[in-house]
C-alpha cells in the first residue's frame, strides 16, 4: 500500500548506498522529526517532558554510545554508568572554573574527559576478550564511582558530597538549573541528541564503522587483512565514551539537576545495556526504541493499578515493576534476540511484500 | 623518598609490629575469601556446562537465604526449612531451564548473559514482594551453628576467631570436597564435564542437555543456600547481600571462568589480599573503602599477563 519500493530505480552506486534507499523511510524520518520538534513540545505536559521525553532522549544517547562500542566494535562494556559520571563531573568542574562558558561548549568539552578515561580503561581490550573484558570494565565502574566519592575536589568540597546544578544561562535564556523551563531543556537535549545521532550514523556507515564491524566479527581476521586493532579498538572506546560522557553531562545538567556518586553505580550501567540490547545491538534506531520501552514502562506500570481502580501500596507497585521488567527482558530476548530494530526490519520487509507472503 | 616509605616500608613494618593483628586480618580475609570462592564456584559450574555467564548467582544466594528465613518465620521448624528451601531452589532451576534457557539455546553469549540479568531483576522484585525489603536475621542458633568465639594468644597478642566463621570455613571445605567428588567420580558429574567440553559430542552419546542443565542450576542453588546461610549469619539477610556477587566476578577473572580450582584459589587470594590492602594501604593512604574496587583492579592487572586467568583453559583462536 503506502510502503512500496516499486518505481524507485537506482542508476548509480552512489544512489544505492544513499542513507535512505527507500523514499518512504525519508518521509517517515521527516514526520518523526516534525513530531519531535514541533508537535510534541506543543502538546506534551511538563510532567511528560520531564518524566518521559527528556530521559528517553538522554538514555537513548547513552545507549547509542554503548552501542558503538558493543554493537559495532564488539567490545562488551559494563562500565557505562561510570563513564557517564566522568562526563557529568567534568562538565560540573568546567562550569565551576569557567562560569561564563556556553553550556554547549562545556558539554562538548566534558566528552573529551570521558573519552580519555574510556581509552585508558579500553587499553586492556587489546589483551583481554569477551567476558573477561566485560568484568575488566567493571573495574572502571567500581573504581570511578569510588573516586567520585573520595576526591572532594570533584564536587567542590561540598559537605553533602553531591553536585548541584546552578542556573546556567545561554543567550539570555535559562537552560539548566532549577529555574529552567522543561520545554527549553527538551529542545536543548533534542538538539544535542540529533546532532550526535547524525554524527553516529555517518561514522558507522563510513570507513571507521566498517573497520569496527570487521573487528567485531573476528578480530584476528581483521588484523590479517591489515586493520590496526589497537587503533580500531581504542577509537571505538574513545568515540563511545565521548558520546556516553555527553549523555552523562546532559543526564545531570538537563534532567536530574543534582547527582550523588552512587547515581552512576552499576544499575545505571545495566539500564543502558538493557536499552542497547533490547533495542538491538549494531543499530542506531534501536537505541531509541529501547529507551522508549525502558523509560516508558515503569511510568505506565505505575499508572495501571489506578486505571483499574485498584489500590496497591506504592512499595508493592515498585517491586512488581522490577519483577515485570525482568520478565519482559527475558520475554523480548526470547521473542527477538536481535532487538526491536530487527523487529522493525521484519515488519518493513512484510510491508514491502504485502499482501503476498513472500 | 617519603612516598616510597609510606608505600613499601611502613605497611610491612606495621605488619611485623603487630603480628597478632596481622593474623586477625588474614583470618577475616580468609573467611570472606571462602565465601567469594563459593559464589564463584556456582558461576563456574554453570559456565562450564552451558557457557552461560550466570549473573543471577548473587540473587540466588539472597533468594535462598530469604526463603529459609521466611519459611522459619512462617512456623516451619528450622531443620525442615532447609530441605524445603532446597525444594524451592530445585523448582527455580526447573523453571529457569524451561522458561528461559530452553528457548534461548544457541543464542550468542551476550543474549544469555542479559537473560540472567533479567532473571536477577525478576527475583529481586519477586523476593521483595514476598519477603519484604527489610533486613532479616539468619536463624543461626536454630540450625545448630555455634555462635561463640575462641580467643587465642599468638605472639603474646590477641586473636578472635568466631565459631560461626570457623563453621563456615569447615562447611565450605566439606561442600567443595563433596562437589569435586561428585564431578569427578559420579556418572552425572562426568556428564556435566562432558557437556562442558563439547555440547554436540555430549548430545550424540546420549547425554540429556536439559537434565544436566536443571542439575547444574540446582547445584548452583545448593551452593547459593550454603553461601546464604554463612554470609547471612555474618551480616544479616537482605538484598544488600547481592553485592557480594560482584565480588565473585574478579575471582572468576583471576581463576579462569572454567576452573573449579581457580575459583577456590582465586577466591581465597582475593579475600586475603583485599583485606590486607584495605587495612595497610587503603585506610591510611586512600581514605578507605577500597574493597569495592581493589579485587577488580588486581584481577585486571593479572589478566594483562594471563588473558585467560590463572587456571583457565588456554584461549586458542582460529580464523
B252 touches chain A (CB under 8 A): yes
Which among B107, B123, B253 has the least Cβ separation from residue A132?
A: B253
Q: Do residue B289 and residue A323 have CB atoms under 8 angstroms apart?
A: no
Note which residues in 30-89 of chain B have CB less than 8 A from chain A.
53
Question: For chain A, what is the radius of gyration of the CA atoms?
Answer: 21
Q: Do residue A127 and residue B304 have CB atoms under 8 angstroms apart?
A: yes
CA distance B152 to B131: 40
Q: What band does A68 get if pLDDT is binned at 50, 70 and 90?
A: very high
Which among A130, A149, A270 has the least Cβ separation from residue B117?
A: A270
Q: Do residue B104 and residue A337 have CB atoms under 8 angstroms apart?
A: yes
pLDDT recorded at residue B157: 67
Q: What is the pTM of this model?
A: 0.87
| CA of B120 vs chain A CAs: smallest distance (Å) | 7
The model's pLDDT over A235-264, given as tens digits with 9 standing for 90+, comes to: 999 999 999 999 999 998 888 888 888 888
B303 touches chain A (CB under 8 A): yes
Region B126-143: mean pLDDT is 76
Sign of CA dihedral B98, B103, B104, B105: positive
A355 has pLDDT over 80: no
A328 has pLDDT over 80: yes
Q: CA dist B151 to A32, B34, B148, B204, Å?
A: 72, 21, 10, 58
As to burial, measured by CB atoms within 10 angstroms (0-12 exposed, 13-18 middle, 19+ buried), residue A45 is: exposed
Domain layout of chain B by residue ranges = 2-305
Residue A169 main-chain phi, psi, to 5 deg: -100, 150
Mean pLDDT, chain B, rounded, equals 81
Q: What band does B2 get if pLDDT is binned at 50, 70 and 90?
A: confident
Which among B125, B300, B308 has the least Cβ separation from residue A320?
A: B125
A262 within 8 A of A116, measured Cβ to Cβ? no
Residues 6+ apart with CB under 8 A from A239: A65, A68, A115, A203
Q: Do residue A334 and residue B128 have CB atoms under 8 angstroms apart?
A: no
B259 within 8 A of B309, measured Cβ to Cβ? yes
Helix (H, G, I), strand (E, B) or coil at B150: strand
B102 within 8 A of B52, measured Cβ to Cβ? no
Note which residues in 322-351 of chain A have CB less than 8 A from chain B.
322-330, 333-334, 337
Region B177-199: mean pLDDT is 84
CATH assignment of B2-305? 1.10.3470
The model's pLDDT over A190-231, given as tens digits with 9 standing for 90+, comes to: 999 999 999 999 898 889 999 999 998 888 888 899 999 889
Give contacts of A319 with chain B, Cβ < 8 Å: 125-126, 128-129, 133
B172 within 8 A of B185, measured Cβ to Cβ? no
Which among A139, A274, A329 has the least Cβ separation from residue B297?
A: A139
A120 within 8 A of A113, measured Cβ to Cβ? no
Kindly give the pairing relationship between strand A163-164 and strand A258-259.
antiparallel
**All structural domains of chain A:** 22-353 (1.10.3470)
CA distance B231 to B187: 32
Amino acid at each position: 500500500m503506502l510502503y512500496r519500493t516499486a518505481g524507485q530505480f537506482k542508476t548509480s552506486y552512489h544512489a544505492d548506498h544513499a542513507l535512505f534507499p527507500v523514499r518512504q523511510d525519508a518521509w517517515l524520518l521527516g514526520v518523526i522529526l516534525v513530531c519531535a520538534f514541533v508537535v510534541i513540545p506543543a502538546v506534551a505536559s511538563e510532567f511528560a517532558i520531564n518524566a518521559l521525553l527528556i530521559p528517553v532522549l538522554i538514555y537513548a544517547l547513552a545507549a547509542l554510545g554503548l552501542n558503538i562500542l558493543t554493537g559495532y566494535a564488539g567490545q562488551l562494556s559494563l562500565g557505562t554508568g561510570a563513564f557517564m559520571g566522568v562526563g557529568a563531573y567534568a562538565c560540573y568542574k568546567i562550569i565551576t572554573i569557567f562560569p561564563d562558558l556556553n553550556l554547549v561548549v562545556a558539554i562538548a568539552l566534558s566528552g573529551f574527559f570521558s573519552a580519555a578515561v574510556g581509552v585508558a580503561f579500553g587499553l586492556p581490550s587489546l589483551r583481554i576478550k569477551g567476558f573477561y573484558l566485560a568484568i575488566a570494565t567493571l573495574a572502571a565502574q567500581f573504581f570511578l564511582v569510588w573516586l567520585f566519592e573520595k576526591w572532594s575536589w570533584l564536587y567542590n568540597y561540598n559537605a553533602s558530597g553531591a553536585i548541584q546544578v546552578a542556573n546556567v544561562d545561554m543567550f539570555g535564556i535559562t537552560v539548566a538549573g532549577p529555574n529552567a523551563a522543561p520545554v527549553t531543556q527538551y529542545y536543548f537535549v533534542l538538539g544535542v541528541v540529533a546532532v550526535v545521532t547524525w554524527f553516529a550514523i555517518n561514522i558507522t556507515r563510513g570507513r571507521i564503522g566498517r573497520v569496527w564491524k570487521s573487528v567485531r566479527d573476528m578480530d584476528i581476521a581483521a588484523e590479517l587483512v591489515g586493520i590496526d586493532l589497537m587503533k580500531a579498538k581504542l577509537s571505538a572506546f574513545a568515540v563511545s565514551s565521548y558520546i556516553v560522557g555527553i549523555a552523562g553531562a546532559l543526564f545531570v545538567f538537563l534532567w536530574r539537576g543534582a547527582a550523588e556518586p552512587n547515581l552512576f553505580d552499576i544499575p545505571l550501567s545495566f539500564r543502558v545495556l538493557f536499552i542497547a540490547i533490547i533495542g538491538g545491538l549494531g543499530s542506531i534506531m534501536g537505541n531509541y526504541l529501547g529507551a522508549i520501552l525502558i523509560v516508558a514502562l515503569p511510568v505506565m506500570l505505575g499508572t495501571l493499578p489506578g486505571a483499574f481502580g485498584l489500590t496497591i501500596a506504592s512499595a508493592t507497585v515498585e517491586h512488581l515493576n522490577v519483577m515485570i521488567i525482568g520478565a519482559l527482558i527475558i520475554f523480548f530476548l526470547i521473542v527477538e534476540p536481535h532487538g526491536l530494530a530487527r523487529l522493525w526490519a521484519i515488519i518493513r520487509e512484510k510491508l514491502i511484500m504485502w499482501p503476498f507472503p513472500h | 623518598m617519603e612516598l616510597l616509605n609510606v608505600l613499601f616500608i611502613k605497611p610491612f613494618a606495621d605488619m611485623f609490629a603487630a603480628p597478632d593483628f596481622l593474623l586477625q586480618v588474614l583470618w577475616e580475609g580468609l573467611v570472606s575469601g571462602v565465601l567469594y570462592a563459593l559464589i564463584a564456584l556456582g558461576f563456574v559450574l554453570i559456565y562450564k556446562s552451558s557457557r552461560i555467564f550466570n549473573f543471577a548467582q548473587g540473587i540466588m544466594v539472597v533468594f535462598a537465604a530469604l526463603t529459609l528465613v521466611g519459611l522459619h518465620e512462617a512456623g516451619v521448624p528450622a531443620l525442615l526449612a532447609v530441605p524445603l528451601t532446597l525444594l524451592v531452589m530445585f523448582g527455580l532451576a526447573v523453571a529457569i531451564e524451561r522458561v528461559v534457557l530452553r528457548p534461548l539455546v544457541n543464542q550468542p553469549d551476550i543474549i544469555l548473559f542479559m537473560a540472567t540479568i533479567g532473571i536477577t531483576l525478576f527475583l529481586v522484585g519477586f523476593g521483595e514482594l514476598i519477603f519484604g525489603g527489610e533486613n532479616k536475621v539468619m536463624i543461626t542458633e536454630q540450625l545448630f551453628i555455634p555462635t561463640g568465639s575462641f580467643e587465642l594468644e599468638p605472639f603474646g597478642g590477641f586473636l578472635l576467631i568466631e565459631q560461626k566463621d570457623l563453621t563456615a570455613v569447615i562447611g565450605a571445605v566439606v561442600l567443595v570436597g563433596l562437589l569435586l567428588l561428585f564431578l569427578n567420580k559420579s556418572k552425572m558429574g562426568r556428564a556435566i564435564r562432558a557437556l562442558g567440553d563439547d555440547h554436540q559430542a555430549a548430545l550424540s552419546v546420549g547425554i540429556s542437555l536439559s537434565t544436566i542443565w536443571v542439575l547444574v542450576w540446582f547445584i548452583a542453588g545448593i551452593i547459593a543456600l550454603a553461601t546464604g546461610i554463612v554470609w547471612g549469619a555474618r551480616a544479616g539477610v537482605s538484598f544488600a547481600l547481592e553485592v557480594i556477587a560482584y565480588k565473585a566476578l574478579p575471582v572468576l577473572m583471576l581463576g579462569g571462568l572454567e576452573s573449579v580450582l581457580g575459583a577456590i584459589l582465586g577466591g581465597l587470594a582475593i579475600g586475603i589480599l583485599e583485606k590486607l590492602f584495605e587495612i595497610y594501604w587503603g585506610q591510611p593512604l586512600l581514605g578507605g573503602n577500597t574493597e569495592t574496587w581493589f579485587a577488580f583492579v588486581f584481577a585486571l592487572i593479572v589478566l594483562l599477563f594471563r588473558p585467560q586467568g590463572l587456571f583457565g583453559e588456554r584461549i586458542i583462536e582460529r580464523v
